[in-house]
Structure 1
Amino acid sequence: MSSSPQAPAHVATADADTRPSLTVLSGFWPTTTFAVARTLLAADPSLLLVRHDLTGIRDGVVRRVVRSGTGIIEDERTNLRHGCISCTLREDVLPTLVRLARHNPGQDLVLMLPEVVEPEAVAAACTYCLVDGAPITDLIRVDSYVTVLDAEHLLDALASTDDLTTLGIQAADDDNRALADVVVRQIEYADTLVLWGQSREGAFDTSRLTVLLERMAPWAAHFRVDDDLVDADALTRQLRHTDRHRPEIPGVLARGLQGYSLGAHEPEADCGVVSTVFRARCPFHPQRLHDVLEDVNAEMIRSRGHFWLASQPDTVVAWEFAGGGLAMGSLGHWLVSLPEDRWEHVCDQRRLAAALEWDPYYGDRHQHLVFIGLDVDPVALHRTLAGCLLTDAELADGEEAWRRYPDPFAGCFPLGTEDLAEPDTDTDTDTEGAQPA
C-alpha cells in the first residue's frame, strides 16, 4: 500500500512505486544539516537538494537554491503574499518540489528546512495543501523526516530559555517560540535522528547525548556520525530509501491518545539520563497539581503528555515542558464526555485505543505523562504526582463536587463545539497565565 493516504489508487506496492522519493532534512544548526546534505550529494550527484533562506521572510521575500552534486541549478528570490512559514510552504516549497519532480523524472529530492521550521508543519502541508489541484504525494513519495543534531551544542539548546525573537531569528513578527521548543519538536517528529560530531565535553558526554535522544524519541532510527570521518555511502544507506515516514502516526501530543508510544520507561539512569512514565486513572486535584508544577519539572530536560483535572473532567489537557517553560492547552474532549453519535467524527485509532483501556467509571480518562532528565529521582517524582491525585474520600464525593473545586486553571482550557472531533494540538496556554492573580 502507498505510504501516503493522498497517493493515487493505482500505486499499489512499494515495488511498483515510480515516484521520486523525498527526504526532508531539519535541524537547528544549518552548517551541520548542510554537511549531511552535501554528504548525500557526494554519494549521488543526481540528487536534487532544495534549500530556502528565510532571512528576508518578514519582508515577504525568500531565497530558493536548488543544487545537484555537480553544482547550483537555481538561485532565485521569490516574493510572497504574506511573510510567514506557511505561505513559503504553500507558495514556493511545494510548487518547487512538484516542478522538479515533473521536469527531472527519476531524480530523488532532498528538502533542507531552515533552522526555525518544524518538520510537522511540512508534513501537514504535504497532506493538506494542493499544487495544481492535487496533493504533492501524487508525484512524490515522502520517504523520511531526518533531523540532524549538533553534538557540540545540543544540550545547551535543550536547556536554553531564549526565544527566537531574542535571538533575532523569528520567522514572523508574532513568532514567540522558544529555541528549546523548536529543537524538541524537530527531534520528536523525526523518524530518523543523526547526531553529528562529538560533545566538547568528551566521549562520556557524547554517549549521554546518544542516550538522551533515544529516550526523547524511542520511535526513531538513531545514527551517530563522526564528523572527522564520514562514509558517504554508508550514510546514504542509513538515510535514503528507508520508507520510515508513517503519515498516519500523529504528532507527539496526540500519540498517547491514539495508543502509540509516548515515551520509554527507563527509570534506571544510563549515563545519568532517566526517562520515567507516570500513568494513573483517577484525576488530579487542580490546586495540588498547580502547587507542584515547578518542582516536578525542576530537573527535567523534557516532559510531555496529557492529563485530566477533577475540576474539568471533560477536557484532555496537553502538557509540554522544554527549556524551562511549561505550556498546557486543550486537546479536545475525552470520548466519555461526548454523545455517542459524535464518536464517528473521531479517528478509528483513537476509538480503538480508548476501547482497549476503557474503565466502567472513568471511561477513557487517564493520566499519561513522560519525564526525561539528568540525575532525576523517579521514585520521588512519582510520589509527588501521586500525591496530587484525588484521595478515596474525594473520589467518593463524585464529579459534581469535583467541578466546584477552587481551580487555578479555570478558563485556561476552553472547549467549544468545534472541539468535538479531532484534538487541537495547538498548546499555547502557558501555565504562567493559569496561576491565580
Structure 2
Amino acid sequence: MTPHPRVPLVLVSGLAPGPNAALAELLRVAGPGTAVVHHDLREIHSGVVRRQLRLGEHDELSVLELAHGCVSCTLREDLLPLLRRLARRPEVTRIVVRLDEAMEPEPVSWAIRNVLVGDHPVRDDVDLRAVLTVVDCATWLADATGDDELADRNLQGSPEDERTVAQVALSQVEFADVLVLAGAATDAWSAAKASAVLDRVAPSIPRVELARMWTDVSPERHTLASLRWDPAHGDRAQELVVVTDQTTPDEIDTALRGALLTDEELAAGPGEWQRYPDPFGDWHEEPCEDTEPDPARHDATAANRKEDQ
C-alpha cells in the first residue's frame, strides 16, 4: 500500500486574537484546500472548548466537553486526532492551526512529533513546515515585560495554570520560524524598545509585516461578480474614459464595439490577433512639436491675439 503523502502544517501563535485571526485568514484564502483549525480555551476551566474548523465554504463550530479541562487534554483528545483525519481527506492540501493565546507552539510541536494517536504519531500524516508568531507592536512589549498572570486576563490553560503573560509572550517569539508584525507602537520610543528586545530574544528570526486585507464580500456582491466570471480569463474588465471634441456617444460606442473580437476571431488565438490591423488607426505620438502644425488653427490663434491687443 502506498503511504499517503504528508500534508503541510503551519502553526500560528500569538497573544493578539485579532491579528492572529487575520493571518490565519490570509493563509486560508492563499490557496484552495487549506483547512484552518482554532480551539477557543476561554471556558476550559469549566471543561468546555469551542472548536472552529474552516475549509472552503464550510465553517463548522463544535462545542467539546472534556473530562479534564486543560491544554494537554485538548491536544491529546481532539487536536491531534483531528489533524490526522484532515490529513487523510483528499481535498485538504494544507492545514493551519491557529493556537489559542494561552498555547505555546513548542509543546504543540513536540506533541505532533511524539504523542501517539493509535499506533503512530501525527507527524506520519502532517509535515510541520513553519511556526508563525504574531507580534502586536502596540501591546507586545508591555506583555513581555509585565507581571500579569494568564489568570488575570482569563487566559489560563487550566485551573492550575500559573504562567505569566510574559512567559507565554517570550516563549511564542523564541520558538517561531517567522515573526509577523501587526499594528504599530504607540510612539517611536516604544517601537525602538520593542525592536531591541526582539533583537535580544530572537536575533536570527526573520520579521515580516502583516499585510492589510479586506473582509469577505457580501453574498450579493459575490453573486453579481460571478455573473461576469469567465472560466479562462477570470473577472478581468476594462473601464475607459473617452475625451473627444464634437464626437457623439453613439459614434464612440460604435467604434469601441467594432474593435471587439468576434467569437471566430477569439477562437483563432493570440498568434493570429497580432496580424489584425489596429482598429483605432494611427496613434498620437509624443512630443507634439514633431507633428505638422495645423495652418487654420495657427491663423485663428494669431487673430485672437490681435483682438486681445
The alignment's TM-score, normalised by the length of structure 1, stands at: 0.46
Quick one: distance in 2 between partners of 1:32 and 1:45? 22
Quick one: distance in 2 between partners of 1:186 and 1:101? 25
Aligned partner of 2:191 among 206, 230, 242: 206
2:131 alignment counterpart:
145
User: Is contact 1:153–1:199 with CA below 8 Å preserved after alignment?
Assistant: yes
Quick one: distance in 1 between partners of 2:142 and 2:182? 15
1:98 alignment counterpart:
84
Q: 1:228 to 1:205 in 2, by over 3 A?
A: farther
Q: 1:92 to 1:52 in 2, by over 3 A?
A: same
Quick one: distance in 2 between partners of 1:109 and 1:47? 6
> Higher relative CO (CA 8 A, sep ≥ 6), structure 1 or 2?
2
The one-letter amino acid paired with 1:161 is D
1:217 alignment counterpart:
202
List alignment gaps of at least 5 residues for structure 1. Answer: 1-9, 12-16, 230-437
Aligned partner of 2:104 among 100, 109, 118: 118
Aligned partner of 2:50 among 50, 56, 63: 63
> 1:150-161 maps to which residues of 2 (within 5 A)?
150-161=136-147
User: Is contact 1:44–1:69 with CA below 8 Å preserved after alignment?
Assistant: no
Q: Does 1:189 align with 2:189?
A: no
1:18 alignment counterpart:
5
Q: Secondary structure at the match of 2:42?
A: coil
Q: 1:48 to 1:106 in 2, by over 3 A?
A: closer
Cα deviation, residue 145, structure 1: 1.0
| Equivalenced residues, count | 214
Aligned partner of 1:53 among 40, 56, 76: 40
Quick one: distance in 2 between partners of 1:45 and 1:105? 9
Quick one: distance in 2 between partners of 1:69 and 1:30? 22
Cα deviation, residue 123, structure 1: 1.3
Quick one: distance in 1 between partners of 2:204 and 2:80? 27
Quick one: distance in 1 between partners of 2:105 and 2:90? 25
Q: Secondary structure at the match of 1:103?
A: coil
1:88 alignment counterpart:
74
Which deviates more from structure 2 when the two are superposed, residues 218-227 or residues 48-57?
218-227
1:172 alignment counterpart:
158
- Deviation digits for residues 348-380 of structure 1 (CA, Å, limit 9, x no counterpart): xxxxxxxxxxxxxxxxxxxxxxxxxxxxxxxxx
2:15 alignment counterpart:
28
Q: Secondary structure at the match of 1:50?
A: strand
- Deviation digits for residues 171-212 of structure 1 (CA, Å, limit 9, x no counterpart): 21111111111100111111211111211214x643553443
Cα deviation, residue 228, structure 1: 7.6
Q: Secondary structure at the match of 2:88?
A: helix
Q: Does 1:42 align with 2:17?
A: no
Quick one: distance in 1 between partners of 2:41 and 2:161? 13
> 1:233-312 maps to which residues of 2 (within 5 A)?
none
> 1:360-399 maps to which residues of 2 (within 5 A)?
none
Percent identical across equivalent pairs? Answer: 36
Quick one: distance in 1 between partners of 2:91 and 2:211? 34
Quick one: distance in 2 between partners of 1:104 and 1:75? 22
User: Is contact 2:33–2:92 with CA below 8 Å preserved after alignment?
Assistant: no
User: Is contact 2:32–2:93 with CA below 8 Å preserved after alignment?
Assistant: no
Quick one: distance in 2 between partners of 1:195 and 1:214? 14
Q: 1:193 to 1:210 in 2, by over 3 A?
A: same
Identify the structure with the greater helix proportion: 2
List alignment gaps of at least 5 residues for structure 2. Answer: 215-309
Q: 1:159 to 1:109 in 2, by over 3 A?
A: same
The one-letter amino acid paired with 1:54 is L
Q: 1:205 to 1:227 in 2, by over 3 A?
A: farther
